[in-house]
Amino acid sequence: MFDTSKIQLKQLLEDAESGKLQLPDFQRDYVWGDEDVRGLIASIAKGFPIGALLTLEAGGEVSFQPRLLAGVPESDVEPEHLLLDGQQRVTSLYQSLSCKDPVKTRYRKKKTLDRYYYLRIEAALEESADIYDAILSVPHDRVLRSDFGKKIDLDVSTRELEYQQRLFPLNRSLDPLEWVLKWQAYAQESGDDVTDLMQAFNDRFLVPLAAYNVPLIKLDKSNSREAICLVFEKLNIGGKKLDTFELLTAIYAANQFDLRDAWNGIKKRLVGKREERAVLKPLENTEFLQTCTVLHTWRVRREREAAGVAPSDLPQISCKRPAMLGLPLEDFERDLPMVEAAYREAAEFMHQQNIIDEDDTPYPLHTVTLAAVFASLGGKPPTIASYEKLVRWFWCGALGEVYGSGGETRMAVDLPQLVAWLRGEGGPPKTVEDAIFQQNRLWSLRGKMSAAYKAIHALLMRNGCRDFITGKPTDLMTYHQSKIDIHHVFPRAWCIRQQIPKTRFNSILNKTPLSKRSNQIIGGAAPSIYLRKIESETGLSTEQLDEVLRSHLIEPQHLRNDDFEAFVASRVDALSGLVSDAMGKPVVLGAPDSAASLDEDENE
């Protein structure tokens, strides 16, 4: 499984240079700065620990596209081990102590500086010396300048200048003999006795450096995919947890498949040239892979089931990280056109539910599951009845807020149950059975952090609510042209003046889909005032405007009387009916609202 040992620094850097030790291609670029490199060299010079390295033996179940460490000469050699943790440290040590080229240090965000590192021999040997201060970095031409480059402060551009100033090039640290012997010969020719200095330098710096051992944890290639995935979950590369997409990109690259390039094309095609499927803009690469993965694992389970495998031994349907990393490339490539088409169907379905904009989708995993269903069906549901079942499942998931925590598990349960239900081969899926909506939840739905808030917004539009000014219902075209969003019915400013608590006026009960123009005319006026203004500016009669208001499930008389309490009491019943119709079950009356504290107020 794994082995803990030590490796001599010289051997470690030789393995890096020969290509025996390489990086898996998910590792990020080398990013250390000058001070980081100096600090690392100083730690080794003092014999301090620099932390354990983690490697994986190549050739196991999980195969990654390898790449050489930064600075290592190009070669086609196959690695023996992959460096999972320790890239920055090993790269810094290789470039500063072994490589003849300068170290490419990071300087301010994306800029780099080429540096060579030297040790002030005499300063390093002083009794109270701090090795860090004795380490000097110089530019690529080995000349330190000041006064905007006019003044030369230090020049070590030749071997003789290094000898004269007793500055040891640290990239000779692990093979110092030639430099030391030539220094001795140069000193003798100059009449300078450096024997004692050379001996002290050798004993206190060169010998300990050559003998320095780095702790090493080696994972052997017999480790299972699950074990390797568990290791990856604990790793942080550059302060960021490794992304499943990056790992799978490296795995597929071993077979010359560029997953990142493929995804860029997929996302561009799905959203469309004119963003006609803006509802898919939030779709992440990992979410697309989850659809592919849940379909793959379900297929494998069905195949094993058909082969007579006992139910207790059947593999799980899953879209979690280990399952995603186990998605075979050939399966991904085979399913790719089908899954891409399924996402187009999912976008069309959401448009039919008046979920149009990128901020309006209830849950990411809701969309992932929806696409998996369309892929499993090979397109749209086959009958009107099955389509209506899918609609009910969708609203149960959104209004019941069941795809939040534990959404990946729910998706794995829902998919086979839902597909069977749509085909008339089983009862309602778990989401339809589990989902409930507590009427009191209407008071705490205050912003788009909530799936149910976004769901009611869409349901009002699907129900045919018409804009206060234009009188037009919302569809894909008018949504964007009129800049439809959800706004207050009793204006925020008016409610504050009437000392109505924010918890009452800022809920979904006091909001409805309106155009930007309607919201501007409403302003901060009392409803009775802005309704007269709308009638005056548009020529609508009172009866015509009342009809528009009723399309929003608003009782007009309450607005004309500026009666906020009567308005919300009436709308509680109206929105409860809207929710009940969508879910195909009654709302729960008088139950405590367990999700009230989760919503944040929005200022609209």
| Percentage of the chain exceeding pLDDT 70 | 94
pLDDT-derived band at 321 (thresholds 50, 70, 90) equals: confident
Exposure string of 61-99, with b = 16+ CB inside 10 Å and e = fewer, is ebbbbbbbbbbbeeeeeebebbbbbbbbbbbbbbbbbbb
Residues 6+ apart with CB under 8 A from 310: none
Count of domains for the chain: 3
Question: Does residue 282 sit within a domain?
Answer: yes
Alpha-carbon distance values, 175 to 47, 132, 178, 310 (Å) = 19, 21, 8, 63
Residue 601 has pLDDT above 70, yes or no: no
Across residues 68-80, what is the average pLDDT? 93
pLDDT of residue 478: 80
Does residue 241 sit within a domain? Answer: no
- Tens digits of residue pLDDT in 250-263: 888 888 899 999 99
Q: What is the dihedral of CA 192, 196, 198, 202, to 10 degrees?
A: 180
* CA distances (Å), origin 140, targets 100, 105, 157: 11, 11, 9
Q: What local confidence, expressed as pLDDT, does residue 128 receive?
A: 83
Residues 68 and 193 occupy one common structural domain:
yes
- Do residue 404 and residue 260 come from a single domain? yes
- Name, in order, each residue with C-beta under 8 angstroms of 202's C-beta and a sequence gap of 6 or more: 180
pLDDT at residue 598 greater than cutoff 50: no
Q: Residue 265: count other Cβ atoms within 10 Å of its Cβ.
A: 10
The pair phi, psi for residue 217, each rounded to 5°, is -110, 120
Helix residue spans in 400-539 (DSSP H): 407-422, 430-434, 441-444, 451-462, 476-481, 492-497, 502-505, 516-522, 527-538
Confidence of residue 379 (pLDDT cuts 50, 70, 90): confident
At residue 110, the pLDDT reads: 66
d(CA 160, CA 156): 8
> How far apart are alpha carbons 294 and 278 in whole angstroms?
24
Alpha-carbon distance of 407 to 105, in angstroms, equals 43
Encode pLDDT of 388-437 as tens digits.
Answer: 999 999 999 999 999 987 889 999 999 999 999 999 999 999 999 999 99
Tens digits of per-residue pLDDT, 293-312? 999 999 999 999 999 999 99
Verify that 409 and 493 share a domain, yes or no. Answer: no
In a domain, 195, yes or no: yes
Predicted confidence at residue 108, as pLDDT, reads 65
What is the overall mean pLDDT for the chain?
91
Tell which residue, 270, 220, 262, has the closest CA to residue 245. 262
499 vs 236, which has greater pLDDT?
499
CA 343 to each of CA 109, 319, 340: distance values in angstroms, whole numbers, following the listed order: 37, 17, 5
Query: Predicted confidence band at 382 (pLDDT cuts at 50, 70, 90)?
Result: confident
Q: Residue 597 has what pLDDT? A: 42
The DSSP string of 80-120 is SEEEEE-HHHHHHHHHHHT-SSPEEEEETTTEEEEEEEEEE
In whole angstroms, give the CA distance from residue 253 to residue 63: 9
Show which of 434, 453, 469 is a domain's final residue.
Answer: 434
Eight-class DSSP state of 383? S
Q: 120 and 32 in one domain?
A: yes
Residue 154 has pLDDT above 90, yes or no: yes
Across 55-59, 315-319, 580-584, least confident range = 55-59
**Residue 238: inside a domain:** no
How confident is the model over 2-10, as a mean pLDDT?
A: 92
Q: Is the pLDDT of residue 240 over 70?
A: no
- Per-residue pLDDT of 470-497, as tens digits, reads 999 987 778 878 889 999 999 999 999 9
- Please compute Rg for the chain using Cα positions: 34
Q: What is the mean pLDDT of residues 129-157?
A: 93
Q: Report the alpha-carbon distance of residue 52 to residue 309 in Å, rounded.
A: 44
Whether 26 shows a pLDDT value over 90: the answer reads no
Tell me the helix, strand and coil percentages in the chain, rounded to 5.
50, 15, 35
Q: What is the largest CA-CA distance in the chain?
A: 111
Amino acid identity, position 181: L
User: Is 417 found in the same domain as 445?
Assistant: no
Q: CA 29 to CA 238: how far, in whole Å?
A: 9
| Start-to-end CA span in the chain (Å) | 57
Give a yes or no: residue 356 inside a domain.
yes
In this predicted structure, what is the pLDDT of residue 235? 65
Handedness of CA 383, 388, 392, 395 (dihedral sign): positive
For residue 317, is pLDDT > 70? yes
**Assigned domain for 48 exists:** yes
CA gap 157, 83 in Å, rounded: 34
- Domain boundary pick from 434, 463, 480: 434
| Whether residues 426 and 450 fall in one domain | no
pLDDT score of 1? 67
Percent of the chain with pLDDT over 90: 74
Are 117 and 176 contained in the same domain? yes
> Which two tokens mark 52?
């354990």
In the predicted model, what is the mean pLDDT of residues 270-287?
Answer: 91
Which residue is it, tokens 């690469």?
285
> Please, which pLDDT band fits residue 595 given cuts at 50, 70 and 90?
very low
For residue 349, how many C-alpha atoms fall within 13 Å in the half-sphere facing its CB?
27
Residues 427 and 448 in one domain: no
Whether residues 405 and 542 fall in one domain: no
C-alpha 594/C-alpha 163 separation (Å) is: 76
Residue 511 DSSP SS3: strand
Parent domain of 31: 2-216
Closest CA to 34 of 102, 95, 105, 104: 105
**548-579, pLDDT tens digit by residue?**
999 999 999 999 999 999 999 999 999 999 99
Q: Residue 293 falls within a domain, yes or no?
A: yes
Same domain, 377 and 446: no
Confidence band for 238, pLDDT divided at 50, 70 and 90 = low
pLDDT band at 14 (very low <50, low <70, confident <90, very high): very high
Residue 237 lies in a domain: no
171 vs 19, 99, 520, CA distance in Å? 19, 6, 69
Q: pTM for this one?
A: 0.75
Rounded to whole angstroms, how far apart are CA atoms 378 and 281? 23
Residues 65 and 101 in one domain: yes
Identify the pLDDT of residue 451. 94
Helices and strands in the chain, H and E counts: 29, 16
Closest CA to 277 of 266, 285, 269, 287: 269
CA 337 – CA 378 distance, rounded (Å): 11
